[in-house]
Amino acid sequence: MAETLFFNALREAIDEEMERDPTVMVMGEDVGHYGGSYKVTKDLYKKYGDLRLLDTPIAENSFTGMAVGAAMTGLRPIIEGMNMGFLLLAFNQIANNAGMLRYTSGGNYKIPMVIRGPGGVGRQLGAEHSQRLETYFQAVPGLKIIACSTPYNAKGLLKSAIRDNNPVLFFEHVLLYNLKEDLPEGEYLLPLDKAEVVRSGEDVTIITYSRMRHHVMQAVKTLEKDGYDPEVIDLLSLKPLDFDTIGASIRKTHRVIIVEEAMRTGGIAAEVIASINDRLFDELDAPVLRLSSQDIPTPYNGGLENLTIVQPQQIVEAVQKMVALKV
């Protein structure tokens, strides 16, 4: 086992896959000589050359479209969005091209590409740099959506995403890059369609993903001291959802709280709640509760910024309230 920073876990995944498969390449703003905005591709251009670590102009629509074409013709491009919010400029290329071409071509083309980079609410990055784009893209057919949350799952999921023959949106949280964890020495892959049961419990199921996993686990420390026994599920795969894992948990606890950093309206939680009500309504002993960010642009002011997103104490209070209703 070796202690590894989150951004280095991602770098290891890219390095290993580029070494294994010569069709894997990276493109984006400052991914080459600068090493990426968060150093995920640091020094890789020295090993693989400037064409496999391709520095692009500041033109997200152009290089995303170029990556789609590269994927159609045999390469496995990895796009780094310097900030995932900038990829709204490439929405057409991601949705109408990457997401749909395998279907609209009658299966004549595969689109094996990964679109990855930092997103989420950082520390005073302002509204345009604090986007949660998973909610924008969840309705697009043909896309797989991953939200990693630890160095271990970041590396294993990214390697699997690079090998997948479909376009994968791979969300990394801007505040997790310096997280440390011991990683196995050997190669490992993680499935792109499975959630992780972070903690087993009996009282209530807490479903979360990305940075909110860590807010939930902070809350769990307080709840355990007070005798509560929550089960925690990290979705990891936002599309498709792993309803085998979700269903097994709900059949045990019969109560659900969803914690997300996405905004409440049209968020991931909204889709999860609809799916739970469709499939597991009779298993519920209480309405599903969601804790989401407020429906406002993220403020620059640090105090106001914290007020817009879910904090651990809110999770504690939600669990206490829901378990108090237990019959």
Residue 23 in tokens: 């069709």
Task: Report CA dihedral (91, 272, 155, 166) to the nearest 10 degrees.
Answer: -50
Query: Would you say 290 and 273 are in contact if contact means Cβ atoms under 8 Å apart?
Result: yes
Cα distances (angstroms) measured from residue 141 to each of 37, 53, 66, 92, 245: 29, 29, 20, 13, 23
65 burial type by CB count under 10 A (0-12 exposed, 13-18 middle, 19+ buried): middle
The one catalytic residue among 17, 29, 80, 129: 129
The type of residue at 221 is: K
Asked if 181 is an active-site residue, the reply is: no
Of 60, 172, 261, 305, the catalytic one is 60
- Separation in Å, CA 66 to CA 30, 33, 49, 145, 215: 17, 20, 19, 21, 38
Q: What is the spatial distance between Cα 178 and Cα 251, in angstroms, rounded to a whole number?
A: 36
What is the rounded distance in angstroms from the CA atom of residue 241 to the CA atom of residue 310?
22
- Cα 318 from Cα 289, distance rounded (Å): 8
129 is known as an active-site residue: yes
Active site residues: 60, 129
